[in-house]
Amino acid sequence: MKHISERVVYEGQWLSVHETICKGKDGMEIVWESVRRKKSSVGVVILAKLVPSNRIILIKQYRPAIHGYILAVPAGLGFGDPAHALVELKEETGYKGKIVSVSPVLKTGASLINDNAYIVCVDVDERDPANFKPQQSLEPGEDIQVFLLKPHEAKDFLLDQQKQGVHIAANLWYLLGIGQWFKHA
């Protein structure tokens, strides 16, 4: 595939839409539309679990792009700093945690957008008094509910929520499915 040209079709406050023309190996021209963040940054996707119970932290958040709620893991713009995951976790869930691992920079939706993210694994000590009664610090207009689930309960919970009209984030399904997949490998 060879990049031929690109033009901005629309530019908003946070995003722009681009039309890219490429030439395939067969010589055919391909026109592709994509979204770009205007302020390129690396986000954080947070895989958080409570210790010692090993419950995972999920959120349900309203997303205007899908006109509904979606179940996902906490996430946000990380501004290139994986430690920002702790700020996002605290804001969205009220929990204070400790980073235990960070992925390399990963592409999150390369077929549509130029997003990058770190996957940040966080342990939340549920014995820490700061986590006894977590208080969210949501931005104006944010609507986020927090759910704490044992991993073996998650699939049934997600499917039940889906029956109620709640969407499921693909990355959450990947996360829960990968363990099952390896069990059968």
Q: What is the DSSP string of 16-43?
A: EEEEEEEE-TTS-EEEEEEEEESS--EE
pLDDT of 182: 57
Residue 168 pLDDT > 90: yes
Q: What percent of the chain has pLDDT over 70?
A: 95
Residue 185 pLDDT > 60: no
Rounded to an integer, the average pLDDT of 154-167 is 95
Residue 133 pLDDT > 90: yes
Nearest to 32 by CA among 17, 53, 42: 17
pLDDT of 147: 97
Cβ neighbourhood burial of 43 (10 Å; 0-12, 13-18, 19+): buried
Q: 167 is written with which tokens?
A: 């969407």
The predicted model scores a pTM of 0.89
Neighbours of 30 (CB within 10 A): 11
What CATH superfamily classification does 42-183 receive? Nucleoside Triphosphate Pyrophosphohydrolase (3.90.79.10)
pLDDT of 27: 92
Q: 71 is written with which tokens?
A: 């179940």
What are the extents of the domains in the chain? 2-37, 42-183
All residues at 6 or more sequence positions from 91 whose CB lies less than 8 Å from its CB, including other chains: 76, 136, 137, 138, 139
Residue the block writes with tokens 């044992």:
150
Angle subtended at Cα 148 by Cα 147 and Cα 154, rounded to the nearest 5 degrees: 90
Total residue length of the chain: 185
Instruction: Give residue 46's identity as a one-letter amino acid code.
Output: I
Is the N-terminal amide bond of 74 cis, ω within 30° of 0?
Answer: no
Lowest-pLDDT range, 2-16, 103-117, 141-155, 168-182? 168-182
Lowest-pLDDT range, 36-45, 87-96, 134-143? 36-45
Confidence of residue 180 (pLDDT cuts 50, 70, 90): low
For residues 36 and 15, is the Cβ–Cβ distance under 8 A? Answer: yes
pLDDT, one tens digit per residue, over 66-123 is 999 999 999 998 888 999 999 999 999 999 999 999 999 999 888 888 889 999 999 9
φ, ψ of residue 16 to 5 degrees: the values are: -135, 150
Strand partners of residue 124: 50
